Structure 1
Amino acid sequence: MIIKNFDPQHFVKEYWQKKPCLIRQFVPNFVDPIDENDLAGLAQEEGVDSRIVSHSDGAWDVHQGPFDDFEPYCKGDWALLVQGVNNYIDDVNALASIVDFIPHWRFDDVMVSYSTKNAGVGAHTDQYDVFIIQGKGSRRWQVGLPIDATTNAKLIIPHPLLKQIEDFDALIDEVLLPGDAIYIPPQHPHKGMTLSPCLNYSLGFRAPTNLEALTGLLDESDSITQAQSRYCDPDIAELRVASSSPMQVSTNELNKLKDTIVELLNSPEAEQALLQYLSRQGLATEQELSLYEIADISEAVAQGETFEKLPGVKPIYAERQLHTFTFYIDGNRFEVDKSIFTQTVTLLESRQVQGLPQGFTLQTAQSTHWLNLLLQLVNAGYWDFAENSDQH
C-alpha cells in the first residue's frame, strides 16, 4: 500500500473509497505555501474556523478560535488546525488542483495544521475521504482496517469537542516527509503523531447522506417551489376499501404520496436545486463589493487588464445542458448563451484571463455575452482585477 509513482487512473481503480495508501513524493520538491505565522494570522480572523487541540499531563483540551492570544492555549503537545485555508490563500488553493481527477462537487476544503513534537488529535475515524500532504517536518501515520457496525471500536470522548477511538491494529505504519501524502478512505481508523514540528495539508472530500442531500435540496426552496404540487384524491373511493376506518391511511394513499415526492425529485427544478446545494462552499466574499458597469469591464479588457479567479472558487455544472449553458458557484446560478460554451469553460478553468477569448472581437454578440458573464462574476465577488485580488 505504498505508491512511489502516482497514477490517478490506477489510484481511482485500486484505492479510491476502497483502501488507504501512502504516496511517496505525491508533490515532488514540495515547498510549503504557508507557514505557521500565516496560519496563526488566519486563526485570529472572525469567520475563520480554527481550533487548538492540546495534550498536557494526560489531559486533552480543545479551544475554538478566533484567538487574540495563543499563549494560554498552546500548552504541552499542541496543534493549531484551520479549516478552509484554500478560500483565503491562493497558493494553498492550488493544492486542490492536484486532486482534480475527483469532481469539484466532491471536494470540500483544505485544512492546514501546525503541530509541535508529539502532538496529534488521537486515534479517530472520519466520514469523508482525505489526502494528507506532509509539509515541513515529519509525522508518523498509522491507519487500520475500516470500522463498521460489527467491529466498532469503543468511542472515547476525552473532551466535549473531541471524539477518539481506542487503539487499533495498524495496516499502515509509516513516517511521512515533505511532499509525501497519505490517502485515508471513510471509516478507516487513523492516528498521526508529530515527530518534529510540522505542517500538514488535509484535502477533504464530502459525501452527503441521502437524507443530507434531500435536506440540502429542500433548503434551496426558491428553486424548487414551481415544481411542487398539492395532494388531491378525486379517486378516493378507489384508493380506499369500503371497510377502511377513517383512522387508517391506506397503502394506496401512501404510495400516491410517495409518487408525488418522486415526481418532485425528478423535476428539472429539483435538479437545479440539487446542483445549487452541491455547489455551496461557504466562500468568504467581501461584504461590500465594488459594483462595475459593462463599460468598465469592456474598457479594462480592451486595455489588457488581467482578471483573476479568487481562492476557493470551484464552479460546477451538469453534464446535461439544454438551451443555455448553466453553471453554479457557491449556490449562485449563472446562465450564458451556448454559443460561448467553450470560452466559458475555459474562463471557469483558468486562474487568470487577459483580453477577449481567441477569435473574439469587440462589439460582436459572442463578445457581448462573454463580457456580461465576466461582469457578473466580478460583481458577485468570484473574479476580480488582478491588482485588487493581490490585496485579499
Structure 2
Amino acid sequence: MDITQKLSLLGGLTPEQFMRRHWHKKPLLIRQAVALAQPLVSRSELFEMAASEDVESRLIVQEGNGGWSLKRGPLPRRSLPPTTQPGWTVLVQGVDLHRDAAHDLLQQFRFVPDARVDDLMVSWASDGGGVGPHFDSYDVFLLQVQGRRRWRIGRLEDPQLQPDVPLKILQNFIAEEEFVLEPGDMLYLPPRWAHDGVAEGECMTASIGFRAPARTELAREIMVRMLEAVEAEGDSPLYRDPRQPATETPGAIPEGLADYARDALQALLRDEASLQCALGEYLSEPKPQVWFEVGDAADLSGGVRLDRRSRMMYDERHVFFNGESYRAGGRDAKLMRVLADSRCLDARQVSQLSEGARELLERWGDDGWLHPA
C-alpha cells in the first residue's frame, strides 16, 4: 500500500496524514468513504451466522421499561425478535473470517500493522436499536452499510457505568457532536471516546476494530510461550542449596531460593530471540473459533494467496504464521515477507523460493492456510 496516496477511505487524507493527525488522537467523519456496490452480508446471512456455534454473536434488546437485556450466541432465528419490533440489535464478530466481501474491506485498513487489527464486526438493528452510550478501549472505524444511524459522540468526562445493567452503558454521557451516517459514510473514533449510535429505521453497521492487549495479558502470553520453549529444550536445572544451615525458623523463605527465582526470570527475559519469537506466535495466532478446511494438495506453482482466516507476520529473523514460528533468511525471508505484506505471491516469486520453502508452502496448502492464486 502506498501510504502517501490520498484515499477517499480517509476523506482525502493519505494514510501518513491520518495516522499523524487522527490515530489515537481525535475523531474523523468521512462522507462516502466506501463505495458499496453490494452489501457485505445480507440480513438473512447475518442472522444465519449468528445462529452458528462457530461465530461469536450477541443479541441486545432495549426493554420497554428503559432496561436492557443481553443474550450471547449461538442465536437461532426463533430466538430473535420480529424485525418489525423496534429497539433491538444483533452483533456478529469476525464477519471478515466468513465473507470475502468483508475480508476485502478489512484489507483497505492495512496502513495499520496487522498485529493491531482485530476483526470486522457487523451489527443489524431495527428502528431505534443500539447498544447505548458507551466507550471502547481501542480504535474503531464505524462504517454505515445499510440504512441510517444517528451517532452522538463526546470526550469521556465520566467513565462511571450504569449499575445493574448487563452492558457497559455510561451513566452520565454528554454528547458534543451529532451526525447521521448514510450508506458509505464512516466515523473514526480513538480509544475512550464516548459514543451512542441509534438506528433510524432498519440499518446495518460495520465496525473495524483493533487489538489493544493489556500489559498483563501480553506478559502472560509471552511468558507462557517462552517457558514452553525452554521446557521443550530439555532438562531445566533444579534448585540446589548444599550450604543451607539448620534453621530455627522453618516458615521463612530462604533468601537463596528467592534469588534463584529472580535469576530464573531475568535469564528468561534476557533471551531476546525467544521473547521475539513468543510475541510473534501470540500476535499471529488465530482466534479460538477459527478453523481451516484441509487442502487438496493443489498445484501452487502458479502462485499462492493466503486464506482469509490466516494471520501472517514477521520480524528480522522469523516468519510467523497462524501461531507458529519459522526461521527465515536470504531470498526466502524476503519473499515470505512479501507474502505476509501482500497476502499473495505470483508464479515468478514462487519459482524463486528454495526447495525447502516451496515444500513449506505445500504443507501450508495442505493445512488450508493458503490456496492457489
Q: Which deviates further from its counterpart, 4-13 or 226-235?
A: 226-235
- What is the TM-score when the length of structure 1 is the normalising length? 0.79
1:316 alignment counterpart: 313
Q: 5 Å matches for 1:176-255?
A: 176-220=181-225, 221-225=227-231, 226=233
Please state whether the residue corresponding to 2:146 is helix, strand or coil. Answer: coil
Please state whether the residue corresponding to 2:18 is helix, strand or coil. Answer: helix
1:261 alignment counterpart: 265
Structure 2, unaligned runs of 5 or more: 1-9
1:121 alignment counterpart: 131
Asked whether the 8 Å contact 1:224–1:269 carries over to 2, the reply is no
Amino acid at match of 2:341: E
Please state whether the residue corresponding to 2:356 is helix, strand or coil. Answer: helix
Please state whether the residue corresponding to 2:135 is helix, strand or coil. Answer: coil
2:159 alignment counterpart: 152
* Cα shift readout 1:205-250 (whole Å, capped 9, x = no counterpart): 111112101111234243343499658586989xxxxxx9765568
Asked whether the 8 Å contact 1:336–1:373 carries over to 2, the reply is no
Change (3 A) 1:184 1:233: farther
* Cα shift readout 1:284-319 (whole Å, capped 9, x = no counterpart): 223x62463xxxx5xx245x4x6432113231112x
Q: Aligned partners of 1:183, 1:216: CA distance in 2, in Å?
A: 30
Please state whether the residue corresponding to 1:197 is helix, strand or coil. Answer: strand
Amino acid at match of 1:313: S
One of 286, 290, 294 as aligned partner of 1:289: 294
* Cα shift readout 1:109-164 (whole Å, capped 9, x = no counterpart): 111111111100111122222111111211111222135xxx432433423xx221
2:282 alignment counterpart: 277
Asked whether the 8 Å contact 2:300–2:372 carries over to 1, the reply is no
Amino acid at match of 1:51: R
Q: 5 Å matches for 1:1-392?
A: 4-28=11-35, 31-58=38-65, 59-70=67-78, 72-74=80-82, 75-147=85-157, 151-159=158-166, 162-220=167-225, 221-225=227-231, 226=233, 257-267=261-271, 268-282=273-287, 284-286=290-292, 289-290=294-295, 292=297, 300-301=299-300, 304=302, 307-318=304-315, 320-321=316-317, 326-357=318-349, 360=351, 366-385=353-372
Amino acid at match of 1:265: L
Q: Aligned partners of 1:51, 1:205: CA distance in 2, in Å?
A: 19
* Cα shift readout 1:185-221 (whole Å, capped 9, x = no counterpart): 2222211111132211111111111210111123424
Amino acid at match of 1:266: R
RMSD over aligned Cα, in angstroms?
Answer: 3.2
Change (3 A) 1:350 1:9: closer
Asked whether the 8 Å contact 1:223–1:272 carries over to 2, the reply is no
Asked whether the 8 Å contact 2:239–2:257 carries over to 1, the reply is no
Amino acid at match of 1:198: C
Please state whether the residue corresponding to 1:17 is helix, strand or coil. Answer: coil
1:32 positional shift = 2.6
Asked whether the 8 Å contact 2:141–2:189 carries over to 1, the reply is yes
> Identity of counterpart residues, as a percentage?
27
Asked whether the 8 Å contact 1:20–1:143 carries over to 2, the reply is no
Q: Which of structure 1's runs of 4+ aligned residues deviate more than 4 A?
A: 28-31, 226-237, 244-256, 351-354
Q: Aligned partners of 2:109, 2:121: CA distance in 1, in Å?
A: 15
- What is the TM-score when the length of structure 2 is the normalising length? 0.83
Structure 1, unaligned runs of 5 or more: 238-243, 387-392
Please state whether the residue corresponding to 2:76 is helix, strand or coil. Answer: coil
Please state whether the residue corresponding to 1:18 is helix, strand or coil. Answer: coil
Q: Aligned partners of 2:52, 2:307: CA distance in 1, in Å?
A: 18
Change (3 A) 1:330 1:236: farther
1:258 positional shift = 3.6
1:278 positional shift = 1.5
Q: Aligned partners of 1:99, 1:315: CA distance in 2, in Å?
A: 16
**What is the total number of aligned residue pairs between the two structures?**
357
